[in-house]
Chains A and B, each alone.
Chain A
């Protein structure tokens, strides 16, 4: 009997505490909201980040530390959760972040449609949402990303300059990822690929859609590329250029070319993974479009803090000097309108990617993406790029 009474008293006390702490928007009725009330008085800003696949190296190495530092330097608190590639898990994660007292959410949507209920929940709780790196079709979100179409453009532009006519192989990523299926190919076409194919200047060796790679897996890309090489040899055609959408697939392509002693036609990639940058230094990959995720993280952190203050997305501006000039949006430091494929208009900050070739590898070293030692491993002194001299 007395235990039950004690339980009731405790529950009532918790509810009362929660009610008292509901000054900040989005504090939920469950007892754990007491925590956020305990943090410092005026500008209490808890930034909640929902990762979709934290295991991919880039996030832990670049985005996360920069978001966290920027938020904490601005007096905020950083919390996060990882959905481990699962849509359902991400919905749960968003719930958890909200109940832990997040005042603003940064979301990497695992699936741009499945995430919508979570976004709605946040909006209902009055929590602003930033769509980070991946688009969410919701007019009230703030879209912060690299110009993914621009990445594709940069990839294709570099390769098309090197190989204006000839036989091309297209290697794409996971068929379910809109980046792989839509945005990057769109960028390739913007740079002129579609026109050249239509005019006959370029022949696609592995079909009009190219070859997709389940889960962007390197070994799968290697197996696929080996089959493509075999077919080309059997047909008597030369592979003169390879457009690979990202570094993990490009790594598989290089392994296949090595195994077949085929030589290294110009090859594209993105992400600036150390192994691939080393390949660029060795001449096995031609261009690696580097997205300086450090800058993206800084931008998101700063903008999240501003949203906490109640600024509307359309009125946001990036602090001067926070972001490197070459990476900053071409349109300037204020929020721009962006039209989504679903015909919605969102406020956005679109950062610029940096194509890296053997000429400007130093940029990667300066950005802390790779050490000079790792970059230059196995590089022949006679043909070494500038960054290795």
Chain B
């Protein structure tokens, strides 16, 4: 019995005809329109604030502050994309961040030293605390995911219950008081001059990042050639390579232009017996650790969403849950995993929050669910399911935070910030809806 599918491949697959209009040229680079649009929007916002502030806004120090402030929400947003894509929701993220931040604080100030005998000098105590926090996040996620996927209670209800009850637990943990005084090393997770990787490492990373960018382009082209698929024109590939590398190096240069505060640099100079040049010793901070965490999380999550079966199953389920079931996919296990991921991401964001505060208060993480969902939605994730990108959500988080930080910088108070945030959310999603309708 011959197999219909084993016929010879159709020879001479056609290249799409080159179009010379600007739109055509753009299409040939195959860049995602939406992501590009968001980058443009972000640039416009930053530029506007820069003009309004007379050039004071767009400085390395400020941009680093903005990025660190956005990092927690952006990290969680990468997971929220998968949850919303699979037609679910997670309203509990704020409370989960709160309880894990409080857990970190209690572990390092009370439980580890007093109950387990691990004093402040215990090696890698902060690693233990971090590991326990990640475990707690995964456990909470697994529990919620189980109830949603296997018992069948709607996600809205389960995570709403989580939001309420877990926030209550935070109160019980500390009788409502603030807990402070974390490990010195743990505090570095929060950024700041000491909590950054330094100038040298940043340059190295930027150069190193160039290689995978170019390698991916080359490998992608080779693959397509092998199968005879249409390839991007050479000029497009070169342009993307150059732009990619330039972006990596440019961002690194910007981060390295952020210097240690004068007082700290002077202290460092005297401690290390360096004679400071006139104007003070200039030490670059480089990328802060929260940003390194964000970059790492974004890369891993994007890889999982686009190159692993798990990601494919999440999107397929979101597009047509029946089709996924009939395809033999274990949809319940897939959904549960999305929630476990959320728990782990919340634990990472909680580490950043707790480190920044050098402790935890009752209200850590309050309102996060709204910021995270806004970031995902502004970044292109649709509540209908099946549509969304992780880089988009990260950009969405940065767009929203740039507005909040910019308005703070310009002296606009919180009611004004809330008004702007609400309008931007509606406009972003509105544009998206119109665009989709026009395209279909």
B178's partner among A211, A226, A248 (CB-CB below 8 A) is A248
| A223:B408 contact, CB within 8 angstroms | yes
Residues of B within 8 A of A217 (CB): 361, 363, 366
Instruction: Kindly state the separation between the CA atoms of A42 and B362 in the bound complex, as whole angstroms.
Output: 44
Contact present for A230 and B175 (CB under 8 Å): no
Q: Which residues of A contact B180 (CB under 8 A)?
A: 251, 275, 278
Q: Judging by beta carbons under 8 Å apart, are A255 and B413 in contact?
A: no
Q: Are A233 and B61 in contact (CB under 8 A)?
A: yes
Separation of A43 and B405 alpha carbons in the complex (Å):
59
B260 near A: Cβ within 8 Å?
A: yes
Tell me which residues from 243 to 282 in chain B have a Cβ below 8 Å from any Cβ of chain A. Answer: 260-261, 263-264
Partner of B409, one of A56, A218, A230, A262: A230
How far apart are B184's CB and chain A's nearest CB, in angstroms?
A: 10
B177 x A220 contact (CB < 8 A): no
Q: Does A70 contact B (CB under 8 A)?
A: no
Whether B414 pairs with A214 at a CB distance below 8 angstroms is: yes
A343–B260 Cα distance when bound, in Å, is 54
Q: How many B residues, CB 8 Å from partner?
A: 45
Q: Which of B59, B178, B193 contacts A261 (CB 8 A)?
A: B193
Interface string of B53-82 (1 = CB under 8 A from A): 100110101100100110000000000000
**Interface assignment of A113: CB less than 8 Å from any CB of chain B:** no
Q: Which residue of A lies closest to B404 (CB)?
A: A223
A147 lies within 8 A of chain B by Cβ: no
Which listed residue, B61, B176, B357, touches A57 by the CB 8 Å rule? B176
The total of Cβ contacts below 8 Å across the A-B interface reads 121
Pick the contact of A219: B61, B177, B363, B415 (CB < 8 A): B363
Per-position 1/0 for B176-207, Cβ under 8 A of A: 11111100000000111110000000000000
A225: nearest residue on chain B (CB-CB)?
B408
Residues facing B in A92-148 (CB within 8 A) are none
Q: A211-B413, A255-B358 are in contact. Are A274 and B65 (CB under 8 A)?
A: no
**When the two chains form their complex, are residues B414 and A213 in contact, meaning their CB atoms are under 8 A apart?**
yes
Contact residues in A for B404 (Cβ distance below 8 Å): 223
Q: Decide: A251 and B178 in contact? CB cutoff 8 A.
A: yes
> B177 touching A273 by the CB < 8 A rule?
yes
B-chain residues with CB within 8 Å of residue A275 when the two chains form the complex:
177-180, 359
B356 part of interface (Cβ distance < 8 Å): yes
A212 CB within 8 Å of chain B: yes
- A108 CB, nearest partner CB in chain B, Å: 15
Q: Which parts of A254-269 form the interface with B (CB within 8 Å)?
A: 255, 258-263
A315 within 8 A of B: no
Given known A219-B364, A251-B357, A259-B356, contact A226–B192 (CB-CB < 8 A): no
Minimal Cβ-Cβ distance residue in B for A223: B69
- Which residues of the other chain, B, contact A274 by a CB distance below 8 angstroms? 177-178
By the criterion CB–CB under 8 Å, are B177 and A231 in contact? no
Residues from 277 to 293 in A contacting B, C-beta threshold 8 Å: 278
Inter-subunit contact B56/A231 (CB<8 Å): yes
Residue B411 CB within 8 A of the other chain: yes
Give the CA-CA distance A39 to B142 in the complex, in Å. 50
> Which residues on the B side are within 8 Å of A206 (C-beta)?
411
Q: A227-B65, A235-B56, A259-B191 are in contact. Are A207 and B411 (CB under 8 A)?
A: yes
Chain B residues, Cβ within 8 Å of A211: 408, 411, 413
Is B171 close to A, CB under 8 A? Answer: yes
Counting contact residues on chain A (CB < 8 A from B), the size range is 35 or more
The answer to whether B408 touches A224 (Cβ under 8 A) is yes
Residues of A within 8 A of B65 (CB): 226-227, 230, 260
Q: B261, A60: Cβ atoms under 8 Å?
A: no
* B178 & A222 in contact (Cβ 8 Å cutoff): no
- Complex Cα distance, B176 from A61, in Å, reads 9
Contacts A217-B363, A226-B65, A273-B177 given; indicate if A55 touches B356 (C-beta within 8 A). Answer: no
The yes or no answer to A381 lying at the interface (CB within 8 A) is no
Please give, as numbers and ranges, the residues of chain B lying within 8 Å of A377 by CB-CB distance: 181
The distance from the CB of B271 to the nearest CB of chain A, in whole angstroms, is 15
Set of chain B residues within 8 Å of A207, measured between Cβ atoms = 411
Chain A residues with Cβ below 8 Å from B362 are 55-57
Does B353 have its Cβ within 8 Å of any Cβ on chain A?
Answer: yes
Across-interface contacts of B409 in A (CB, < 8 A): 227, 230-231
A248 to B362, CA, bound (A): 10
Q: Is A215 located at the chain interface by the 8 A CB criterion?
A: yes
Complex Cα distance A273/B353, Å? Answer: 20
A261-B261 CB under 8 A given contacts A227-B409, A251-B178: yes
Assess the A260–B408 pair: CB atoms within 8 A: no
| A222 to B194 alpha-carbon distance, docked (Å) | 18
| Nearest CB of B to A52, in Å | 14
Question: Closest residue to A207 on the B side, CB-wise?
Answer: B411
Contacts A227-B408, A251-B359, A273-B178 known; 15 new A-B pairs at CB < 8 A: A57-B362, A175-B413, A206-B411, A207-B411, A219-B364, A228-B408, A231-B56, A231-B409, A234-B62, A255-B356, A258-B358, A261-B193, A274-B178, A275-B359, A278-B180
The 7 closest A-B pairs by CB, nearest first: A57-B176, A227-B408, A234-B56, A275-B178, A261-B261, A275-B180, A217-B363
27 contacts across the A-B interface (CB closer than 8 A): A175-B413, A175-B414, A207-B411, A214-B414, A217-B363, A217-B366, A218-B178, A218-B357, A219-B357, A219-B365, A223-B69, A223-B408, A226-B69, A230-B65, A231-B56, A234-B61, A248-B178, A248-B363, A251-B178, A251-B361, A260-B261, A261-B194, A273-B177, A275-B177, A275-B180, A278-B181, A377-B181
Measured CB to CB, the residues of B under 8 A from A are 53, 56-57, 59, 61-62, 65, 68-69, 171, 175-181, 190-194, 260-261, 263-264, 353, 356-359, 361-366, 404-405, 408-409, 411, 413-415
